[in-house]
Amino acid sequence: MTTDEPFTEAQPELSATTEPRGRDRLRAKLPWFALAAACLAADLWTKYLVFYPMSPERTEVRRITDWFSLIIAYNRGVTFGLASGTTPWVLALGTGIVIVLLSWQLWATRADERLKSVALAMIVGGAIGNLYDRSIRPHVELDTRPGVRDFLDWYAPDHWALAGWLREHDVKTHWYTSNVADVLIVCGVILLAWLIITEKPPAEVGVPEAATQEGSHEDIVEVGSAA
């Protein structure tokens, strides 16, 4: 004689990696967009500190160390002077599209991918800083010169062994002039590349252990009944 147990529908279990929705998702993403805003503020603040005490009409160099100086430079291209011959509105449009795509990616990033969120926030903040400098700043600030303001000037001094090694390999000892936004963008891209390279492949989907044990138990019962 057997007794039938009442059937109860299994309730789906909430996964620990379930992404929040609505206001919870907005609250979860606010710190990362705040980080992007902080990167933007750092870029604009440093540009203000350097360029306004140093009049745009002056091109003098402020030597800080034997390998670093503060200079006045205006970059018509993107990071490190790339695409300097491109029409400004094309660069602005392309930069704007990239910012939108990266912001969407930052919004869509899973909550457990914190390093990826940090990298995206750095890139977004830096890109907005350079976009403002290129497209808005000449029309709203006293400094009306076109281009992105660069002031970080790095080079290898002649007395360094590194300088001799670079010259032997036909590499310049004076590197690109940049700004804080460029540094943030490059660091963010390097971090993203590192995450992609070191990313582990997704685990193969297998049968849950509990289900396997249950199936084995049912097979044993059926064999015993047949015997």
Catalytic residue list contains 150:
yes
Residue 39, pLDDT > 90, answer: yes
pLDDT tens for each residue of 116-125: 999 999 999 9
Looking at the DSSP bridge assignments, the partners of residue 62 are 70
pLDDT of residue 205: 41
Of residues 119 and 203, more confidence is placed in 119
pLDDT of residue 149: 93
Of these residues, 43, 133, 150, 153, which one is catalytic?
Answer: 150
Residue 214, pLDDT > 70, answer: no
Residue 206, pLDDT > 70, answer: no
pLDDT of residue 53: 73
Instruction: Name the E strands within the chain.
Output: 62-65, 68-75, 148-154
pLDDT tens for each residue of 149-184: 999 998 888 888 888 998 898 888 888 889 999 999
pLDDT tens for each residue of 128-145: 999 999 899 999 998 888
Instruction: Name the E strands within 110-226.
Output: 148-154
pLDDT of residue 133: 92
CA-to-CA dists, residue 80 to 29, 74, 85, 207, angstroms: 30, 11, 13, 51
Catalytic residue list contains 182:
yes
CA–CA gap between residue 219 and residue 187 (Å, rounded):
57
CA-to-CA dists, residue 157 to 63, 64, 175, angstroms: 12, 13, 11
What is the percent of the chain where pLDDT is above 70?
71
Of residues 206 and 144, more confidence is placed in 144
pLDDT tens for each residue of 56-106: 556 567 878 888 888 888 887 665 555 555 666 787 888 899 999 999 999
Of these residues, 43, 133, 153, 182, which one is catalytic?
Answer: 182
Cα Rg of the chain, angstroms: 28
Query: CA nearest 98: which of 188, 199, 29, 20?
Result: 188
- pLDDT band at 16; cut points 50, 70, 90: very low
pLDDT of residue 17: 53
When pLDDT is averaged across residues 43-68 and rounded to a whole number, the result is 79
CA–CA gap between residue 182 and residue 201 (Å, rounded):
31
CA–CA gap between residue 193 and residue 188 (Å, rounded):
9
